[in-house]
Amino acid sequence: MGGFEAKRCRVTVDSLTVEVEGVTVLRDVGFEVDGGLTAFIGPNGAGKTTLLRVLAGILGHRGVVRVCGLDVRSARRISSYVPSFLQVDPYARVEDVIVAYLQGVSNPRSPEDVLESFGLARLRGRRFNSLSGGEHKLVLIAGALARNPSILLLDEPFSHLDLANQAKLARLLKAVSENLTVIAAVHEPFFASLADRVGILNSGRLIAFGSPGEVLRKNVLEEVYGVELEEVSLGSKTLVLPSL
Amino acid sequence: MLTFSYIMLFTLSLSIGVYKFYTPLEIIAILEGYGSPVDRAVVELRLWRGIAATTVGIGLAVSGLVIQRLLGNPLADPYILGVSPGAALSYVIALLLGLWGPLKLLLTFLGGLLAYSIVVLVASMVGLTSLALIIAGVALSYVFSSLSIIAITMLGPELGLALSWLFGTVAYTYKDTSLTLTIVVLASLAFIAFNRGALTALLLGEEVSRALGVNVRVLRLSMTATVALTVSLITAVSGPIGFIGLTAPWIARILVGADFTRLLLITTITGAMLGLGSDVIVRLVGGGRELPLTAITALLGAPLLFYLAVRGRHVGGL
């Protein structure tokens, strides 16, 4: 889907600290990934979005952050960032949003071709603001991927998606992460469990980083979220859900 | 279709006026050198006036489009945000001070830029929301307009001409002024077109645009200066004219969506038509006298704005 070149790249973060208006939002964060799908999970305000914004080159920071061997500002030409929410001009069509994402790309694909290749041809000509929250996400991710980036940064990609679109997006991210580096901030432990690596952020600190099996442990999540959880087996998968 | 309509409108602009009506065949003959010296002078005046009205329309429309994209606010325009009223006040002050031509234009430009900066500064004190910008802009524009009216009454013998200018007119725009205005507006248009990639990306908001490599701060500064320069020069020539900067980009939006390159092209045409169309109407409906341009642009623009505001509720709101 999408026709990507193999461009995965290494991301190195060391001693990353971010202060926003005098408040330390990220403190001494360090990790390294080399391609694949990496998910960051943690409570609201843990620093997930801040980390993505640093990697996207739009937030000042202290410490070392290298993306594909480049400093984050230089790496903006080879990265794509999708925020958790985006409001655009009320008259913007879906194609206009794709065209906006393709700015600065040499020989960009046509927006119609992009929509077609992501199975979104049915949205052609629609006003972006008239789409559902899930369709918003899919269009933005299609635009971001159409830039043919080396690294894709996604903030809450699964929010607002129905089950069918969650499955579609999960398959898409698994597929594209074989060829490029994907880093996503997610809320659901289930989606984090699909990643190659998972990081848990809590109060600006990276308290765990490793494979999903190592990191997504019930007792760790209970401590981080401050709620009682239970593990539910569903076929070969184990889901971690709040205990009600 | 739009281009054809514009050509028809321009022909009409050459035909009508307080002095005499010319048929298209008569106009062609006069432009080829036939007809009396008076006829040739009248058609030449109408020609430069038509070019000035077109250029004023294009300059205001494209400036409105750029301001709307920069602020992510579809209700913004150079008049509502204080550029035109601020430039007008500075121009009147320059007239009172008896300043020399280029200095007068420089003061007008600085006045437009300062007024816009004050509006943005005041709005930012309450969060720089769409509503805050409009309230600050409208309130301060009234203040600048009131001060202009007070200042203009001190002018003496030039009062009549200045009042006519204050209500908007291109009736006294001759060849040199019209050419200067055209060059500045075309240069401004070319510079905006040169930055169309960054302005296209800005559809996605400041955060994503920056992530795509757009230097939003430099873009804002350069585009704000371009708009202030263009609108200030237009104001110095034709007076403070409202609604074109708001309405022309909106009509373009309805026609082609929000892709900046297409919007720029269509806004240029709709701006040209609104500018020239308004100038034709002031000559048509005045009954031997010319009406103020601002009265017509507002009469054309206000109902359209209301219609768009109502329609906007169905496409995600304003």
3-state per-residue secondary structure call for A6-23:
CCCCEEEEEEEEEEECCE
Question: What residues contact B35, with CB distance under 8 A and at least 6 apart?
Answer: B26, B29, B43
Rounded mean pLDDT, A151-170: 91
Cα separation, B291 vs B167, in Å, equals 9
B176 touches chain A (CB under 8 A): no
What pLDDT, on the 0 to 100 scale, is given for residue B309? 61
Q: Give exposure, B119-148, as e/b (b: 16+ Cβ within 10 Å).
A: bbebbeeeebeeebbbebbeebbeebbebb
Beta-carbon neighbour count of residue A125 at 10 Å?
Answer: 11
Q: Computed from CA positions of residues A145, A151, A154, A157, in that sequence, does the dihedral angle turn out positive or negative?
A: positive
Interface of A with B (CB under 8 A): 53, 56-58, 76-77, 79-83, 86-93, 95-97, 99-101, 103-104, 127, 129-130, 153
Q: Is B103 on the interface with A (CB under 8 A)?
A: no
Q: Which residues of B190-227 are buried (b: 16+ CB within 10 A; e: fewer)?
A: eebeebbbbbbbbbbbbbbbbbbbbebeebeeebbebb
For residue A8, the model assigns a pLDDT of: 67
Specify the 3-state DSSP secondary structure of B33. coil
Residue A52 has pLDDT above 90, yes or no: yes
pTM of the model: 0.88
**What is the per-residue pLDDT for B68?**
92
Chain A: residue whose CA lies nearest to B201: A100
Residue ranges of domains in chain A, CATH in brackets: 10-211 (3.40.50.300)
Please list the ranges in chain B whose pLDDT falls under 70.
Answer: 128, 130, 288, 304-305, 308-309, 311-318
**Residue B312: per-residue pLDDT:** 57
Contact B61, B54 (CB under 8 A): no
- Could B254 and A91 be called an inter-chain contact, meaning their C-beta atoms sit closer than 8 Å? yes
Residue-wise pLDDT tens digits, A17-35: 999 888 999 999 999 999 8
Contact present, A212 and A195 (Cβ < 8 Å): yes
Chain A CB within 8 Å of residue B227 CB: no
User: Cβ of B108 under 8 Å from any chain A Cβ?
Assistant: no
Model confidence at A98: pLDDT above 90: yes
Cβ atoms of B74 and A90 within 8 Å: the answer is: yes
To which residue do tokens 């913004």 refer?
B76
Average pLDDT over residues A113-123: 93
Is B317 in CB contact (< 8 Å) with chain A? yes
Residues on chain B touching A72 (C-beta within 8 angstroms): none
CATH number of B2-310: 1.10.3470.10
**Which of the given ranges, A52-56, A147-151, B236-240, has the highest pLDDT on average?**
A52-56
Average pLDDT over residues A217-234: 84
pLDDT band at A86; cut points 50, 70, 90? confident
Q: What is the separation of C-alpha A211 from the centre of its chain, rounded to a whole number of angstroms?
A: 17
- Is the Cβ of B214 closer than 8 Å to some Cβ of chain A? yes
Nearest residue of chain B to residue A143 (CA atoms):
B204
Q: What is the pLDDT of residue A17?
A: 96
> In terms of CA atoms, which chain A residue is nearest residue B216?
A58
Q: Has residue A232 got a pLDDT over 60?
A: yes
B-chain residue closest to A74, CA distance: B213
Q: Best mutation site among B204, B256, B267 for testing chain A: the one with the most A CBs within 10 Å?
A: B204
Q: Structural domain boundaries of chain B? A: 2-310
User: What does the pLDDT look like over A1-17, one tens digit per residue?
Assistant: 444 455 668 999 999 99
Q: Tell me, what amino acid is at A36?
A: G
